[in-house]
Amino acid sequence: MNLETRFDGLVLKNPLMPASGPLSGDLAKLEFLYNQGIGAIVTKTVSSKAAIVPRPCIYGGKDFVMNSELWSEYPYEMWIKEILPMLPTDVPRIISVGYTKEDMELLIPLLDPFADAFEISTHYVGKDLNVIAETVRTIRANTEKPVYMKISPHIPDPIGFATAVRNAGATGIVAINSLGPTMNIDIESRKIIYGNIDGYAWTSGPMIKNLALAIVYMIKQAMPDFTVIGVGGIKSADDVIEFLLAGASGVQMLSSALLIGKDLYSKIIDDLPKALEKYGFESIEEVRAIILDKTISYTPKVPVVDHEKCTSCKLCEKICPYFAITYTTKIVMDPEKCFGCELCISKCPVKAISKGK
């Protein structure tokens, strides 16, 4: 099975990369990720000043991570002298950099010898596209390498963002950064925890996947020849395939490794061939070439219940917003009341309910 993906002169042996964050913050961590078999290295965000990080700073929920870490806690001099020169060179090295035009003027020339590409975080820059575009122009004046601007969910117009950075010289987009600001309150202590000085943290992980998919797809539909790297909520090989189908050229993951385990990278890479075969694909590039079907219907279809599979948990009856499901000795669908919303199909724990004809 061919897992290779190529874009903008970069060749990745598979589409999975780490996202910039706690697991990509020093040489030992990056070497660990490399040994997991990742397709490209992505560093923690390097800035002109080392970050002072509040503790505690990472909270793991059922399907999300809240993080009040900032950029790298190490000075850029350490990255240049001790970390970047030691990175493996047989996979693309994408250096994450932040944040302002002045930071770029200083950092890009110093980091350029070690980079195969740059990822630029705009998390703390604001929403002014003129400011962001000027930052891109400054970067482009200092490097010929691919430059990927990372979009935050608070940007109100993703297509406008992508258009502005492309016109200014960016090579593509990384979508999306973590969601925020968000907050974690401890009732017993009456205290805000896992937050920055203002009490806020940023949320990532599986809970933001559907938002990330939509923004990847939105940008790619508007700008088919502009590279998009997908990030936000990936935790399985199926998730990787979904992002590729939405238009991503490659994907990044970090939060799920904090929730499930750091060996999740190698597991997903090992699972990819089986997942591709399951869905009838022979390569990553074949997935990327698919055009998604957007056909919709306005005619309701009453779901069908497999009573052999049904365990009579009655969840479907409890949650049906149209009161179309009742249980006597078995689940019964009322065709007069059924709206065809299919909530019951998605929520049935044993997959006993399927689409009607």
Say if residue 272 is in the same domain as residue 317. no
Calpha distance 230→64 (Å, rounded): 17
Say if residue 75 is in the same domain as residue 180. yes
Q: Total domain count for the chain?
A: 2
First and final C-alpha spacing in the chain: 36
Calpha distance 234→238 (Å, rounded): 9
Are 228 and 212 in contact by the 8 Å Cβ rule? The answer is no
Say if residue 271 is in the same domain as residue 322. no
Say if residue 187 is in the same domain as residue 227. yes
In this prediction, residues 183-198 reach a mean pLDDT of 94
Classify residue 96: in a domain, yes or no.
yes
Are 323 and 341 in contact by the 8 Å Cβ rule? The answer is no
- pLDDT for the residue 124: 81
Say if residue 96 is in the same domain as residue 178. yes
Calpha distance 23→12 (Å, rounded): 20
pLDDT in tens, 289-329: 999 999 999 999 999 999 999 999 999 999 999 999 999 99
In this prediction, residues 253-257 reach a mean pLDDT of 98
Say if residue 198 is in the same domain as residue 341. no
Classify residue 293: in a domain, yes or no.
no
Percent of the chain with pLDDT over 90: 96
Say if residue 136 is in the same domain as residue 240. yes
| Beta bridge pairs of residue 231 | 252
Its domain, for residue 344, covers 304-354
Say if residue 11 is in the same domain as residue 117. yes
Classify residue 327: in a domain, yes or no.
yes
pLDDT at position 338 over 90: yes
pLDDT band at 101 (very low <50, low <70, confident <90, very high): very high
Are 71 and 125 in contact by the 8 Å Cβ rule? The answer is no
Residue 321 sits in a domain whose CATH number is 3.30.70.20
Classify residue 294: in a domain, yes or no.
no
Say if residue 153 is in the same domain as residue 250. yes
Residue 134 sits in a domain whose CATH number is 3.20.20.70
Classify residue 256: in a domain, yes or no.
yes
Are 86 and 27 in contact by the 8 Å Cβ rule? The answer is yes
pLDDT in tens, 159-169: 999 999 999 99
Classify residue 296: in a domain, yes or no.
no
Q: What is the mean pLDDT of the chain?
A: 97
Classify residue 43: in a domain, yes or no.
yes
Say if residue 224 is in the same domain as residue 272. yes
pTM of this prediction exceeds 0.85? yes
Say if residue 228 is in the same domain as residue 122. yes
Say if residue 39 is in the same domain as residue 148. yes
